[in-house]
Amino acid sequence: MGMIEFTVSQWAAWAPDLQTAEAWQDWACAPWLPQGDATPALPEVPAMQRRRIERLGRMAVQVAYWCSRAEADGVPLVFASRHGDVQRSLELLQQQARGEPMSPTQFGLSVHNAIAALYSIVRGEHGNYLALAGGKASAEAALIEACGLLAEGEDEVLVVVYDAPLPDAYAAFADEAEAAYAWCWRLRATGAGVALSLAWATAADASPADAARALPAGLWPLHFLLAGAPSAGRQAEGLHWHWQRHG
């Protein structure tokens, strides 16, 4: 069994029809699956750079901006997405199948750390950043990574979790509810904010049902933070994840 403890000092989230803290708080009381084709305007990014960022990247970059200080302060970044920009990767594969030349720029923007790299460029960040994928436990994996950075002496870490529905070509492989969303947490070891702990152990067979089970796995931690429950648990990637609120 493992466990981490941390404090969420600030949060931000974006999904179609859910762009304000008040809207997200209402959603947490009666969660539903965000749907729609809306895209963040991302006014913080100059137009020339913004054109290179597609919808998934705009969602991730938008919440990171909302949850960041105005200055580029070198806070470590952990970006997490189960699928990443799979639509861009699919388009490259389709071009290859047709015998068409593939764009090196498009390939560079399709890799899993591309969105984190774009954010660091447009923000002028020079600190540590990484991108990871951990299946249905991608959000939990990001938080474990962030707590490792805190344990090594970082004052705070920015965690960005984001995903979007799979393209139609991969629809048969979908194994959970899908939605377009992004959320960001500023984490500290202690201090002002919401103190949480996350423990994990080999999963049992039981998996309790509630309204949040109909959400994508990556939205589950955000729901727990906003709903205010003292504790909750779920299963993902062969482990049982137990969340608890402190204070």
- Mean pLDDT value across residues 76-101: 85
The mean predicted confidence, pLDDT, of the chain is 88
Binned at pLDDT 50, 70 and 90, residue 190 comes out as very high
Binned at pLDDT 50, 70 and 90, residue 182 comes out as very high
Residues 6+ apart with CB under 8 A from 104: none
**In the sheet where 239-246 sits, what is the strand order?**
129-132, 77-80, 156-163, 181-188, 2-14, 194-202, 239-246, 231-236
Q: Which domain holds residue 191?
A: 2-246
Contact 23, 226 (CB under 8 A): no
Contact 142, 80 (CB under 8 A): yes
In DSSP notation, 174-185 reads --S----EEEEE
Nearest by Cα to 142 from 217, 57, 45: 217
- Give the residue ranges of DSSP H helices in the chain: 21-29, 47-50, 55-66, 86-97, 104-110, 114-123, 138-151, 220-227
Contact 198, 241 (CB under 8 A): yes
How far is the C-alpha of 64 from the C-alpha of 50, rounded, in Å?
Answer: 15
Residue with structure tokens 């969420």? 8
Q: Which two tokens mark 155?
A: 């004052």
**pLDDT of 211:** 46
Look at 49 and 102; give whichever has higher pLDDT: 49
Is residue 227 predicted with pLDDT exceeding 50? Answer: yes
- Mean pLDDT value across residues 2-23: 96
Residue with structure tokens 């984001």? 162
Q: How far is CA 217 from CA 4, 60, 235, in A?
A: 19, 17, 9
How far is the C-alpha of 142 from the C-alpha of 138, rounded, in Å?
Answer: 6
**pLDDT of 222:** 97
Binned at pLDDT 50, 70 and 90, residue 209 comes out as very low
**pLDDT of 10:** 95
- Mean pLDDT value across residues 69-85: 81
Domain count, the chain: 1
Question: CATH number, domain at 27?
Answer: 3.40.47.10
- Mean pLDDT value across residues 37-56: 90
